[in-house]
Amino acid sequence: MHKCYFVQDFEPYFYARSTESVLSQETYRFGFKGFAAGDWLASKLVNEYGMDVEKFRFSYDKDRYYPPARRREPSNKILFYSRPPTPRRGFELGYLALKQLLALKPDVQVLMAGWDISNYKLPKGMDNLGIVPLKDLRALYHECDAALVLSFTNLSLVPLELMASGCPVVSNRGDNVEWILTDEIATLAEPTVHGIVAALLKVIEDKAGAQAKANSALSYVQSTDWDRETLKVATSLRRMNELEKEVVFL
């Protein structure tokens, strides 16, 4: 029997230094065959834990996310992927940066989506959309001039969905992000209030530059393919099954 480990993110980062963080690290030393989500995570598992890893890259639902039929007029709307209960998505840092941005650019409208934050006192210019239904996401992405998506562990799929919808993406720098999001397809900021504000100002004030990056991002993301990535995993599992006759995912 060959035991496999499907690893989507680096879970020790989900916790403060604690029993949970130490024990979650130990799971990478169990000797299981790893299937890791993306380059950054795969490299971390190989280099720091000596894990035998196959990696797959990210794509998106091409039937659901695509650019608008016609280029729309600028709206000065910024989407913020807001998930306070998920600390790795940097809600507090993004909130502070957007609050400062609104002080500088009161004509901007910030749309907060990803979680119900009605218990927060939001300044004028921030609107709580809560958890937006999946069927409404593409239309939301189409109406925004930019989207702020922060990631302090592995990248989420949200930036790819935004890029596929033609919306310029702003995110934080870091190896965990830059294995997909480069300066050619996204506007990357140092993970500080000042850095994020400067990046957002660049996007909303330089419409031509933001559109050029959005076009490059669309070309990149359209070149990705879930079927191709799935085939990588399936091929590896078939090979293991031929050798071991039985494969179990844990």
- Per-residue pLDDT reduced to its tens digit, 28-79: 999 999 999 999 999 999 999 999 999 999 999 999 999 998 877 778 999 9
Residue 70 placed within a domain: no
Query: Distance between CA atoms of 246 and 2, rounded to whole angstroms?
Result: 6
The pLDDT tens digits of the residues spanning 213-225 come to 999 999 999 999 9
For residue 193, the SS3 value is helix
- Pair 42, 125 in one domain: no
Q: Is the dihedral of CA 8, 14, 17, 22 positive or negative?
A: negative
- Pair 229, 218 in one domain: no
- Pair 16, 83 in one domain: no
Query: Distance between CA atoms of 97 and 195, rounded to whole angstroms?
Result: 8
Query: Residue 104 pLDDT > 80, yes or no?
Result: yes
Residue 65 placed within a domain: no
- Pair 218, 150 in one domain: yes
- Pair 136, 234 in one domain: no
The pLDDT tens digits of the residues spanning 197-210 come to 999 999 999 999 99
- Pair 231, 215 in one domain: no
State which residues form the domain around 103.
77-222
Mean pLDDT of 104-127: 96
Contact, 189 vs 174, CB < 8 A? no
Q: Is the dihedral of CA 115, 224, 180, 211 positive or negative?
A: negative
pLDDT of residue 166: 96
Residue 69 placed within a domain: no
- Pair 110, 216 in one domain: yes
Amino acid (1-letter code) at residue 96: L
